């Protein structure tokens, strides 16, 4: 081997050694970087785990407070519902009492109407005898006194003759053909009708013009 060849060989060996020395620090740096990144990831994971554990863990006192709050809300709803039902019941009882008080004389008045009819029929009888006239006057006084007492308790006569026929207050039993009345007007009252305040006790029996 010549000196020139040995020089070339030595130069090549030196270059290879330099390249090896250059590559070694790079390898070490990569290793350090990888280790550092792994440690950072582990720290972050630990932090996340700690945060999750803190979030999932519930204080027993807070849980007890929530349960008590739910029970309080349920009890409040029950109370409000019961209170509303009681108020509705009280209002219904008050209305029923007011209605009963308003129409408390209805049964008595309904039972006494036939008696009033009989008295009025007796007053239509005519006679010339003095004793008859005296008796008739007494019956008339009783009739007026009775009607006055009944009216004080809410009894009212239903107006009929000359009025427009109203099926809510009148009962048509005969049709008439009277030129002095309009069609649908009542020409004659056959039996008086009565009402207690705004409630009909008995409709009037009437003749209705065609």
pLDDT in tens, 54-89: 555 667 788 888 888 888 888 889 999 999 999 999
Torsion-angle region of residue 147: left (phi > 0), alpha (psi -120 to 50) or beta?
alpha
Measured between alpha carbons, how far is 186 from 209 in angstroms, rounded to an integer?
6
CA angle 77, 78, 83 (to 5 degrees): 100
User: So what CATH class is 105-209?
Assistant: mainly beta
pLDDT along the chain (210 residues), means of 10: 45 46 44 50 55 59 85 89 92 87 86 93 89 91 93 92 94 92 93 92 94
* Residue partners of 153: CB distance under 8 A and separation at least 6: 105, 109
Measured between alpha carbons, how far is 7 from 77 in angstroms, rounded to an integer?
103
Rounded to two decimals, what is the model's pTM? Answer: 0.56
């Amino acid at each position: 081997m010549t000196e020139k060849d040995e020089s070339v060989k030595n130069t090549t060996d030196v270059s290879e050694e330099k390249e090896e020395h250059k590559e070694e620090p790079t390898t070490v740096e990569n290793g350090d970087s990888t280790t550092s990144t792994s440690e950072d990831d582990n720290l972050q994971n630990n932090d996340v785990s700690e945060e999750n554990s803190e979030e999932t863990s519930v204080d027993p006192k807070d849980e007890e407070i929530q349960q008590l709050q739910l029970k309080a809300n349920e009890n409040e709803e029950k109370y409000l519902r019961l209170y509303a039902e009681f108020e509705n019941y009280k209002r219904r009882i008050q209305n029923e009492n007011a209605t009963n008080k308003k129409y408390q004389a209805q049964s008595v008045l309904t039972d006494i109407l036939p008696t009033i009819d009989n008295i009025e029929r007796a007053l239509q009888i005519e006679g010339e005898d003095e004793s008859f006239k005296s008796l008739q006057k007494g019956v008339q006084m009783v009739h007026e006194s009775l009607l006055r007492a009944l009216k004080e308790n809410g009894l009212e006569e239903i107006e009929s003759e000359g009025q427009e026929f109203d099926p809510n207050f009148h009962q048509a039993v005969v049709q008439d053909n009277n030129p002095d009345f309009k069609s649908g007007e009542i020409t004659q009252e056959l039996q008086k009708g009565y009402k207690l305040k705004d409630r009909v006790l008995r409709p009037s029996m009437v003749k209705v013009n065609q």
